[in-house]
Amino acid sequence: MKTSIVGLGQTEFSKNSGRSELRLATEAILAAMADAGLEVNDIDGLVRYTWDNTTEAAIVNALGLPSLKYYGETEFGGVNCCGAVAQASAAIEAGLASCIVFYRTLNARSGVRYGRGERILSEEDGRLINRQPEPPGDIYSAPFGLLVPGQHHALYAQSYKGQYGLSDDQFTDMLGSVAVTQRAYANNNPNALLRDKPLSMDDYRAGRVITEPLRIYDYCLETDGAMAMVIVSRERARSMGVKAVDVLSAGQYIYPGSVPMFLYAPVTHTLAPPEAGEDLFGKAGLKPSDIDVAGIYDATSMMVPLALEDFGFIGRGEAHQFLTSGGNGPTGALPVNTHGGLLSEGYFHGLNTIAEMVRQLRGESPNQVDAETAFITLRGASSMILGRA
């Protein structure tokens, strides 16, 4: 890729924004353009998720943009956080547009909640009816009570635990190391929803079980807010005098059964085949040991050990040792989710994961590490490598 991320913008994260998703989106887009030092009218492209309640037309009309030369959508929600950047980059390299904003807006706590069954069930005559064609919570899984993404993650978690024969205590220590380490990052991050709430290992162990083997602290936070980022060509970024971060490699990867919820994937204790990582690292000309900091889409804590193994940062079955010895911490071999992650900063469908890696490479993270390269993935379905400009 020959593009750069040159601006970040966001609203506050909250449990109740008190404003419409369109209003939130426009606030975030204005902030991102200001951060990039560009005029709002410079926007000539937009990318967004299909699971977003605003439309390109609504954004164009609300902001009074002169025109859009390109707009693109990527399927689902956070699955494509890096795919959206790949799409914007491809459009820029193809000359379809020159300044593309990737945005996400959702009232995911005060509005429709992804963690609740109401999203895919209707009550008719006292009965619960499902008409969802695809997971999560589709007609073949809903009758058994498999309804929301967090329950799917519990299935992968149990599969991993069984595959490597981890005891209950070992498994608890492994995921607790993710949750507790990330909460400590969040406690130092003024944007984090849980900045004022410390979490100890004892707190974690005492946490309520939501879907066994996952506890409440293994789950991300349903969050209201909006985020946006500005993508331009690397050449243009160099002429702008802002802190740009280069997209070294970005892409999408699915295989039969993998998306959206891995229910029908051949194996369930690993979610991305080696080829996904080889392709991504190959295009960036880097290897896992070259990466300084990682943003792993942690809808649940279980995504962290899976991604570390799937992308070759550690060997298969080594996550317990790596995480319980602080490998993901500030002085570890690979600091992970230094904003606190979706678990403790807020659930922003991966845009906040990307934003934190951009901040790390700009030298602006609240938990700054020495970083020239950053890796981001959502379960391998979309992934990206960023580099300091």
Residues lying near other proteins in the complex (CB under 8 A): 115-118, 121, 123, 126-131, 138-148, 151, 154-159, 162-163, 208-214, 256-257, 263-264, 268-269
Report residue 19 as tokens.
């404003």
Shortest separation between residue 277's beta carbon and other proteins, angstroms: 23
What gap in Å lies between CA 387 and CA 304, rounded to an integer?
21
What gap in Å lies between CA 128 and CA 125, rounded to an integer?
8
Residue 161 CB coordination number (10 Å) = 21
Residue nearer to other proteins on the CB measure, 18 or 145: 145
Shortest separation between residue 115's beta carbon and other proteins, angstroms: 7
What gap in Å lies between CA 159 and CA 88, rounded to an integer?
36
Catalytic one of 114, 164, 204, 297: 297
What gap in Å lies between CA 104 and CA 355, rounded to an integer?
12
Residue nearer to other proteins on the CB measure, 116 or 197: 116
Q: Is residue 347 flagged as an active site residue?
A: yes
Q: Which residue type occupies 176? A: G
Shortest separation between residue 195's beta carbon and other proteins, angstroms: 25
Q: Is residue 140 flagged as an active site residue?
A: no
| Residue 283: exposure state from Cβ atoms within 10 A (0-12, 13-18, ≥19) | middle
Catalytic one of 103, 185, 253, 347: 347
Residue nearer to other proteins on the CB measure, 37 or 162: 162
Shortest separation between residue 143's beta carbon and other proteins, angstroms: 5
Residue nearer to other proteins on the CB measure, 163 or 368: 163
Q: What are phi and psi of 237, to 5 degrees?
A: -60, -40
Residue nearer to other proteins on the CB measure, 2 or 116: 116
Shortest separation between residue 40's beta carbon and other proteins, angstroms: 40
What gap in Å lies between CA 389 and CA 32, rounded to an integer?
18
- Closest among 330, 320, 381 to 82, alpha carbons compared: 381
Question: What single string gives the DSSP state of each residue in 220-286?
Answer: PPP-EEEEEEEEEEHHHHHTTTS--EEEEEEEE---TTTTTT-TT-S-SS--S-HHHHHHHHHHHT-
Active site residues: 297, 347
